Amino acid sequence: MAAAGNGINVAYNGTYAAQMLLEPIFKSDNIMSNYTVYPNVKYKQNVLLAPGLQKIVMANGGCSSTDNSGSGLSTSFDITDKVITVADCSVKMSQCWDTFYNEVIVESYKSGINMPNLTGTELARVIADRVRLGLARDVVRVMWGGDTTSGNVTYAWADGLFKLANGNITTSEFQASAGTGHTVVNGALVGTDVMSLLEEVFTEAPTNLQQTPASEKKLFVTPNIYNAFYGQLTLVGQTGAVDYGHSEAQSGVNYTKLRYRGIEIVPMYEWDTILTDGNVGLFASGGVSYKQGVVYAAKSNLMIGSDVTSPENQFKMFYDEVSDNMYIRSYFKMGYQYGFDSLMHAGFITN
């Protein structure tokens, strides 16, 4: 929590304001609703995968036939497995009392001998809220962008879905009609390009994914794909015209969550961080790592292994009287995996 108050440099005039203005922290999604969570994983967990069966029925050959045989028939039931390997994770933050005393208005503190102990104060609540949201964002960021070979320690504690799925799942590419927004993070996109990309990703997905009910799937997208898609929903074709469908989208009625063909679209704010920090194989073509993409997947196919249910709630804040420090500590295990290649599909905009 080093230097948490460094940005507070104001002239003090009278009583300190009762509220603290907080920078918004946008969290992409809720791990409990968008993924399959396996709690109580202490080291590794095998997840058994049973592929679907087809072409197993033939005419009954009578008593002389003990097993199905013949050209084109499937005659065995196979079970494979994937392993979720969890890593030891920690959050260790501290803040010296002197930093707060010198930089934060003293009306936030307790009185008397307990003044340095921030627990139970509004300031402690604000710090805990920031830590909780930051922890949740990191869990999702590494779930997608983690790479155990990375030199960046904030990514190296687990392999994420981008690395695990790269080269294994199918991908779609759509060539941009104009602009360069697809080559940079937070780039402006052509709305019709985004609609075409979503159409390609939807129609070119593996059959098993297409047959999965819409309510059990997600379209995870970079934020600017989400914004461009919403822009197309709110586009009015003629100045002054009344269009009730677009008006509804603009007002937010029934559009608290955007959907494409019944499938919820989730803007992944952490992806912009990942794409800024390094390459993502799923969105790469011809040696170029593009910055605007989609992952279409069944929720049950994306798996999180942990020894806790909600990592963002697994931390404690306490005050040490000897060192005059406030401490935050969190320890948990976390790892990621996906199940079937046929239940994931990626797409991105290219040149």
The reply to whether 51 falls in a domain is no
Q: Give the range with max mean pLDDT: 6-15, 85-94, 335-344.
A: 335-344
Whether residue 169 is contained in a domain is answered as yes
Proportion of the chain above pLDDT 90, given as a percent: 28
Residue 311 lies in a domain: yes
List of E strands, 208-324: 217-221, 259-260, 263-267, 284-285, 288-289, 293-298, 302-306, 316-320
What backbone torsions phi and psi does residue 163 show, to the nearest 5 degrees?
A: -75, -45
Stated pTM of the model = 0.71
- Would you state the pLDDT for residue 94? 77
Specify if 131 maps to a domain. yes
Higher local confidence (pLDDT), 304 or 345: 345
User: What is the chain's alpha carbon radius of gyration, rounded to the nearest angstrom?
Assistant: 25
298 belongs to a structural domain: yes
Q: What are the two backbone dihedrals, phi and then psi, of residue 83, each rounded to the nearest 5 degrees?
A: -110, 130
The number of folded domains in the chain is 1
Highest mean pLDDT among 3-12, 149-158, 211-220: 211-220
Does 269 reside within a domain?
yes
Mean pLDDT of the chain: 76
What is the Cα–Cα distance from 325 to 183, expressed in whole angstroms?
A: 45
Secondary structure letter of residue 342 according to DSSP: G
> pLDDT tens-digit profile of 20-34?
444 454 555 565 567
Structural domain includes residue 336 = yes
Nearest-angstrom CA–CA distance, 67 and 76:
10
Asked if residue 282 belongs to a domain, the reply is: yes
The residues, any chain, with a CB within 8 Å of residue 317's CB and separated by 6 or more, are: 118, 119, 124, 127, 128, 131, 326, 327, 328
Query: Which residue range forms the structural domain that includes residue 187?
Result: 1-9+20-39+86-351
Query: Pick from 36, 269, 230: which is nearest to 140 by CA?
Result: 269
What tens digit of pLDDT does each residue of 213-264 get? 999 999 999 999 999 998 888 776 666 655 655 655 665 666 678 889 999 9
Per-residue b or e along 119-133, where b marks 16 or more CB atoms closer than 10 Å to that residue's CB: eeeebbebbeeebbb
